[in-house]
Amino acid sequence: MAKKTTSSTTKKAAVQKAPAKEVATKKSAVKKAAVNKTASATKPPAAKKAAPAKKAALAKKVNQPAKTPVTKIVARVDVGYGNELYIRGEGAGLSWDKGTIMECIGTNEWVFTTDAAKTGVVFKFLINDAHWADGEDVTVPAGGTSISAPSFS
């Protein structure tokens, strides 16, 4: 009888060791699969959301006309308290007959910006749209910036 118990316990031990290893690997695989399923159930796939957003962004870019560059004209001059600086010229909607008021952005700094310039802009400054700046006309290319310090006599 002792032989049977020994051999049966030996067989049981051998049988138990092999399935125990298999069960351990199966459990870890099952746990990983369960974790992946719960993660995918809570998070929608990123690729599905990103694709329509990219298409919408591309559609906006295709439908929008190309932006024209901004042309900026800056005058650094003190025109005196209560006076304003005007600009006259040609291009970007300017006229030689009637001035456009410039924006005062500092104590002695005036600016005119436009995105309507298709070609270069030729201009000259005036105080209160009446008193012309000294010197020649100034030119700036479309999309360029001109910074000047006009003088008035």
User: Could you read off the pLDDT of 46-88 as tens digits, one per residue?
Assistant: 555 555 566 655 555 556 666 778 999 999 999 999 999 999 9
Count of CB atoms within 10 A of residue 47's CB?
7
Domain ranges of the chain: 2-63, 71-148
Nearest Cα to Cα of residue 74 among 8, 4, 129, 140: 140
CB proximity list for 91: less than 8 A, separation 6 or greater = 117, 118, 119, 120, 121, 122, 142
pLDDT in tens, 53-62: 666 555 555 5
State how far the Cα of 50 lies from the Cα of 108, in Å rounded to an integer: 50
At 77 the pLDDT is 97
Fold of 71-148: Immunoglobulin-like (2.60.40)
Q: Which of 58-62, 68-72, 106-110, 116-120 has the lowest mean pLDDT?
A: 58-62
pLDDT in tens, 19-56: 555 545 555 555 555 555 555 555 555 555 555 566 65
pTM: 0.58
